Amino acid sequence: MKVLVLTGRLAEQTVERAVDATTEKDIDVFVKVVDVDVASFITERHLDALDISGYDMVLVPGLVSGNFSAIEKRCGVPVRRGPKHAVDIGFVLNFADTVEFSRSVPACELLSSKNRKKAFETVVQLEAGSTCAFTVRDTRIGGNSRMKVMAEVVSADSFSVAELSHIVRLFVHEGADIIDLGMSLDAQVEDAIRAVKTARRVCDVPVSIDTLDPDLLAASIDEGANLCLSLNSENMDAVAPLAVDVPCVIIPNLKHDASTKANIRSLEKNIAAAKEYKIKYIIADPVLDAINHGFSKSVIRFMEFHKRNPDVPLFFGVGNVSELVDIDSTGVNGLLAGIGSEIGASILFTPEFSDKNKGSIRELKIASEMMVLSKHRESAPKDLGIDLLRLKEKRRRPFDIPPPMFIPVRALTGWELDPAGCVKISITEGNVQNGKILDGMIVASHRNGVVIGRNASEVLDTLIERRFVSTLRHAGYLGRELARAELALNLGRSFVQDDEF
């Protein structure tokens, strides 16, 4: 296959280097620099001057705005859009003979969309064909099914029906496979019943009750809780007779400083007791400890238990680690999901208790899907079509080199208020209204009206159109703050105007 790549003078070297990175050996690539400095300014006129008849495809820059259909008809050669950035040309060319590139969509976006769609389709197919130890409300647990994300509502008994309904819907929207209702130490039986009833009413995923109090466990099971967290020798006698058909998470009795062997013996003893009570569906939790409080030792404990009991689904308490370390949750959750995948975990448990851990449900859901694909492909969890890259990038764009002659910056002193008035910028948090998920928004408040939107550029355009801004300096300032507000929304962060980001 012969491909002609068109570019401008400024991007020539970048394109040449990117083409050299192509690994597809059945593609012959030729680079042509047309009479224009900026590649995105290439038009149909530039192609008129070229003989493209000997090529199987012509790639123009992804950001061009022209229409090349007339050239295609006249020459019989497809003219397709390449990537938006020259540095990605090598990557894109590897798919030139297997993917039909678009006349209107940049190749990088097309490939990303196709790969993502294929990845999710594969995850669904693998889950449909997976084995499992048992199912709960049509959710597969154990076997080679995908690790399920259990999201805890901490102190669920303390919320009103409306508040709990909101949280449960939001957690399910974020990707929770199971909703866990954590009970506070002073929770009453009626509180647990109300929480279980509410959660089951507003979602279709399994609902678990999370407490060691036998009265709360018993009442919740009677109300219809789908899973029971947690049983050991201290509460099993009271609860087990009611939990014969309810999946139960079994934990050991021993203290934190117990040896791995003693911990496993205690857990296996409690599992044996549960089986004597005829509990059919058992999930084991050897207990994951926080970093510098026995983390690596506890991981070994999981591995040893799984080796001895390969058919028992494992409960992996990711939140025990992620809540107790000041590191961005994306990397922590991704790595812990990878560890969970290797040790045979069936459930990834997380609360979103602290502010720094917001987003953990979605992160673990994506990570669990990545691990399924990784195992299926027998490869490392990279280049899967889905990822947890939020701030890092797979391929860096080229940096600029300053010219020898430039204008040094000079900070202006003083500040004059815009005669048109001030604009206060804030953002709203994503929430649920009438059962629908509403995204967070940028709010720009002016004395003559309030502008709301998600796109910083559109909000600024509206402010200018409404004459809420009248000076260049104010417009520049608002552009900076609105861009920061949009970035905060995209990253799931809070935002305060003029504050450090």
pLDDT tens readout for residues 112-165: 888 899 999 999 999 999 999 999 999 999 999 999 999 999 999 999 999 999
Quick one: which of 56, 68, 106 has its CA closest to 85? 106
Question: Is it true that domain 146-377 has CATH number 3.20.20.20?
Answer: yes
| 232-234-240 Cα angle (round to 5) | 65
Strand 248-250 relative to strand 139-141: parallel, antiparallel, unpaired? unpaired
Distance (Å, whole) CA 498 – CA 222:
53
Query: Between the CA of residue 54 and those of 4, 29, 75, 76, 394, what are the distances in Å?
Result: 9, 12, 10, 10, 34
Quick one: which of 347, 237, 336 has its CA closest to 283? 347
The domain locations on the chain are 2-111, 146-377, 423-491
pLDDT tens readout for residues 329-367: 999 999 999 999 999 999 999 998 899 999 999 999 999
pLDDT for 70 equals: 87
- Mean pLDDT of residues grouped by 10 in the chain (501 residues)? 92 88 81 91 88 90 88 89 89 88 90 90 96 97 98 96 93 96 96 97 96 94 95 93 95 77 92 96 96 95 96 97 96 98 98 92 97 93 92 84 91 88 94 74 97 96 97 96 96 92 78
Tokens of 146: 């995908």
CA atoms within 13 A on the CB side of 88: 24
DSSP, collapsed to helix, strand or coil, labels residue 96 as coil
DSSP, collapsed to helix, strand or coil, labels residue 196 as helix
pLDDT for 74 equals: 86
pLDDT tens readout for residues 361-408: 999 999 999 999 999 989 999 989 999 999 998 888 878 888 999 999
Quick one: which of 169, 183, 259 has its CA closest to 218? 183
Question: Is it true that domain 2-111 has CATH number 2.40.50?
Answer: no
First to last CA, the chain: 49
pLDDT for 434 equals: 67
